[in-house]
Structure 1
Amino acid sequence: MRAVEFQEYGAPEVLKIVQAEAPEPGPGQVTIEAAYVGVNFADLKARAEGYRVGSLPFRPGLEVSGRIRAVGQGVEGLSAGQEVAALVGGAYAEVVLAESATVFPLPEGVDLRTGATLPTVVPTAHALLHEVGRLRAGESVLVQGAAGGIGTVAGQLARAAGAGAVYGVVSSTAKAGHALKHGYDEVFTAGSFDEDVRRATGGRGVDLVLDPVGGDTLRRGLGVLATFGRLVSFGNASGEEPWQVGQRDLYARGRSVGGFSVLALAQSAPEELRALAERAFRKVSDGTVSLPVTAEFPLADAAEAHRLMGGRTSTGKLLLRVAD
């Protein structure tokens, strides 16, 4: 089978097509004949910095859609030929090995192309707003990265939940139009978002901030929280030192900080992930949420997908097409 791997860290051109033996499922596992693979910022960090890379060579990719090829011993509720989406490691390949706990049958009416957009993005956005952020109707939300995959879904989910105001932050004004079409009332640029939030809210601040950036951006996000506001961290795209929050930041106005990682949840509480995914996927099948695929590349052109995402000009979701 074909797969995409890198043997050294660096620019997108370190991604190479290789020939590899197709995996066979062990107990509790399935193999999936991949149709589409989602491209995520974590893939770029793995390639460039070694994020979550145990050893080289390394095959990136966290989410895949396709048909089950084979089922290992002890697997229940999944069968060969079934169309599924899965949260995995090493998705950039024609055949992908997955733990059955992170394999999800596609909801009725959801095709394989759409399925590849689901495993990380939709459960993450749902958890940020509801399970961790505990958004209530009428509250205001600020989402960093509003034009990306998670941001696109979060804006729609917040609007559907009855948020009083949904504000987004983008890296350039060129991305604002995309966010405004997907649930956002106003969209700010990263350089001045804190000042813009204070203006938009009359100095009150927002009830919930969703932050994948970390560093100074997270600090500024804390600064625009309203009394009893919550901030949920779900990444450190800035590469700055991990955030630390203490009593001085929180006590005076009753603020709180939480965190979420869908990959960590998959390892620590796979049954909770499955329940979360089922709740989140229903928002796609019932039409509440749509995540546009804005660019699609053949598997062999994975480097081009990385260049587009790394240039910070992309919006929505990027996919690799594996099957013809």
Structure 2
Amino acid sequence: MHAIEFQEFGGPAVLHVAQVPVPEPGRGEVSVDVAYAGVNFADVLARADGYRVPALPFRPGLEVSGRIRAVGPGVEGLRPGQEVAALTSHGGYAEVAVAPAATVFALPEGISLRTAATLPTVLPTAQGLVHQVGRLRAGETVLVQSAAGGVGTVAGQLARLAGASAVYGVVSRPEKAGEALKHGYDEVFVGDGFTEDVRRATGGRGVDLALDPVGGDTFRRSLDSLARFGRLVAFGNAGGAAPWQIGQPELNPRGLSVGGFSILALAQDDPEALRALAAESFGFAARGEVELPVTAEFPLDRAAEAHRLLAGRATTGKLLLRVAGE
């Protein structure tokens, strides 16, 4: 079968098409004939910096949609031919991928395989940020960094569905603001001056909940954007800065709280919690309450092009690799 691999760390050019054996599922695993594979920033970090790469050569890809090819020993409730979305530890950029059965999800009725490739990471992450960790209450205000990205577009919609009184977004470029405004945001700010924009928009109060995948100085500015008793949830370090450190001097005077969330850590440490989160969040897509915007797709052999766009912060919504298609 064909798969995308890299044998050294570096730029998008290190990605190449390889002819490799078709993987067989082991105990508790499922193999999937891949229709589409999601492209995530974690894949870019893996290729460039070795993020979560145990050894080389390495096959990236954390999420796929498709049809079950085979089930391994001990797997119950899943069958060959069934349409699914799956969260994998790696290997999604391929014609066949293997995933733990615990992170393989039968598709709700009405969800296409194309849309399904966006489900495993985006919807559970947004749900966890807004509800499980962020604990958003009706009437509160929300600030979301990277508001035009895959998670950002969904987080804005979920916050609105949860009864937020105002949802604000931050994007890196002016041309991304229009995309974010389509997905639940009242106002979208551009660039690093968003703290002042938040204070203006909220009459000096700040927001109750801020969601930050960027880290570094953006994390600090998000913290400064909080109202008294506000919460900040960090769910990435896309900016590549040193890990943030925070303590009593920053938190105690205004009663602030900082939390974190990782969908990949949840899948590894507590897959049953992930299944519950996925079941709840997939319902929003099945009922048409949340739009999952796929803004670009590429054939498998053009994975490098998708990486160039994502690494250059030139994208909005979700990027996919089309493998077998529908």
In the other structure, the counterpart of 2:38 is 38
In the other structure, the counterpart of 1:9 is 9
Distance 2:115 2:300 in 1: 17
In the other structure, the counterpart of 1:62 is 62
Distance 2:33 2:200 in 1: 51
Quote the RMSD (CA, aligned, Å). 0.7
In the TM superposition, residue 309 of structure 1 has moved relative to its aligned partner by 1.3
Distance 1:192 1:202 in 2: 16
Q: TM-score, normalised by structure 2?
A: 0.98
In the TM superposition, residue 66 of structure 1 has moved relative to its aligned partner by 0.3
Distance 1:287 1:250 in 2: 39
| 8 Å Cα contact 2:192-2:218 kept in structure 1 | no
In the other structure, the counterpart of 1:147 is 148
1:197-276 superposed matches below 5 A: 197-276=198-277
Q: TM-score, normalised by structure 1?
A: 0.99
What amino acid is aligned across from residue 147 of structure 2 in structure 1?
A
What amino acid is aligned across from residue 36 of structure 1 in structure 2?
Y
1:293-308 superposed matches below 5 A: 293-308=294-309
SS at match of 1:81: coil
SS at match of 2:302: helix
Distance 2:52 2:134 in 1: 26
SS at match of 2:192: helix
SS at match of 2:292: coil
In the TM superposition, residue 190 of structure 1 has moved relative to its aligned partner by 2.2
Alignment deviations for residues 283-306 of structure 1 (CA, whole Å, 9 cap, x no partner):
110111111111110001101111
Alignment deviations for residues 93-148 of structure 1 (CA, whole Å, 9 cap, x no partner):
10001100000001110010000010001100010000000000110000000000
In the TM superposition, residue 249 of structure 1 has moved relative to its aligned partner by 1.3
SS at match of 1:155: helix
In the other structure, the counterpart of 1:169 is 170
Structure 2 residue runs of 5 or longer lacking an equivalent are none
Alignment deviations for residues 202-255 of structure 1 (CA, whole Å, 9 cap, x no partner):
110000000001111101111111111000000001111111110111112111
In the TM superposition, residue 160 of structure 1 has moved relative to its aligned partner by 0.9
SS at match of 1:143: strand
Percent identity reads 71
In the other structure, the counterpart of 2:123 is 122
What amino acid is aligned across from residue 248 of structure 1 in structure 2?
P
Alignment deviations for residues 4-45 of structure 1 (CA, whole Å, 9 cap, x no partner):
001111111110000000111111001000000000111111
SS at match of 1:251: helix
In the other structure, the counterpart of 1:321 is 322
